[in-house]
Structure 1
Amino acid sequence: MRVSDLAIQAIRHHEGVRLKPYQDAIGLWTVGVGHLIGDGKTLPEDWNRAFTSQEVDEILRKDLGRFEAGVERLCPDGLTQPRFDALVSISFNFGLGTLQRSSIRMKHNRGDFDGAADAFLLYNKAGGKILKGLVTRRQDERALYLS
């Protein structure tokens, strides 16, 4: 499966889009929608420029390929386009390792889709604190999963 254009718009909205390379919160060089440039420690000269929205979308689409494959592998049954989109969105945000260990995955794979949707709401913290942005994102992902 491939993530839908609607889901890509939601991911861009929640993650934010930067057209010029920047150093993230831990000092790694990043561009677009959270794309790590190389090892992140240095900024290659050919990346030291402004990117177009189309270039950022192409980079994001390529980055999402790993998460699409991961969701198909980890949550193989009961995937509809909305469920797939929501699972790709959350795993892009918190990683495939977290998806693998999550109650979302366990409930989804048992066919408890309502329970899986509700479990999205549990993943709203960073550094042990509830973040409003994550609360909103998880509500949006839950609604998408159920649509």
Structure 2
Amino acid sequence: MPVNDFTYSNAGLALTEQSEGFRSSAYQDSVGVWTIGYGHTGTDVSAGLTITSAQGQALLASDIAAAATFVNQAVTVALDQDEFDALVDFVFNLGRGAFAGSTLLKELNAGNFSGAAAQFDLWDKAGGQVLAGLLRRRQAEEALFTQDTTTDSSTGAAVNS
């Protein structure tokens, strides 16, 4: 049984939506991958494809669910909601394979949260080039990951300090 069983929060979803933006027509991203909606990629995306906002939301929900499930399974240390949300956005953007083989995950599962946090900024390139948008996204993920959240012992609820 996984250590974590989180669902993506509204704050996490806002980060993903803001970072991705919505495009109703398929386009090639900075490395030539066909993309649509809120960063959806796959064999179902090709030149000329268009979708509605509702279809984009459905694709996003499906993609986020897959990323969240993967984070819950791959991370073997207890997380808080902000850490989980930052990791889901990271996995959504970079893919499960990149996360699975990353030093970020290795450091995190070793219990080195600060070492894991320091890894976010290293993932700011596409096609070997630093992209300002990716750097901003990694900085936002790192800020969310390192946000100080504690648990109220009387209610069990997360409280940002």
Q: Classify the TM-score, shorter chain.
A: 0.7 to 0.9
Q: Does the 8 Å CA contact 1:67/1:92 hold for their aligned counterparts?
A: yes
Task: For 2:125 and 2:66, locate their aligned partners in 1 and report how far apart those are by CA, in whole Å.
Answer: 24
TM-score by length of 1: 0.84
Local SS of the residue matching 1:121? helix
CA contact under 8 A between 1:103 and 1:116: conserved in structure 2? yes
Matched, 1:21 2:25: yes
Tell me how large the CA RMSD over aligned residues is.
2.0
Same amino acid, percent of matched pairs = 32
Contact 2:36 2:45 in 1 (8 A): no
Distance 1:55-1:42 versus aligned 2 partners, 3 A rule: closer
The separation in 1 between residues aligned to 2:116 and 2:77, in whole angstroms, is 13
State the partner residue of 1:58.
Answer: 58
CA gap 1:121/1:23 in 2 versus in 1, 3 angstroms: closer
**Greater helix proportion:** 1
Task: Give the TM-score normalised by structure 2.
Answer: 0.77
Structure 2, unaligned stretches of length 5 or more? 1-5, 148-161
Q: How many residues align?
A: 140
Q: What are the residue-to-residue correspondences of 1:1-147 with 2, within 5 Å?
A: 1-18=6-23, 20-25=24-29, 26=32, 28=34, 30-36=35-41, 39-41=44-46, 48=50, 51-52=52-53, 54-147=54-147
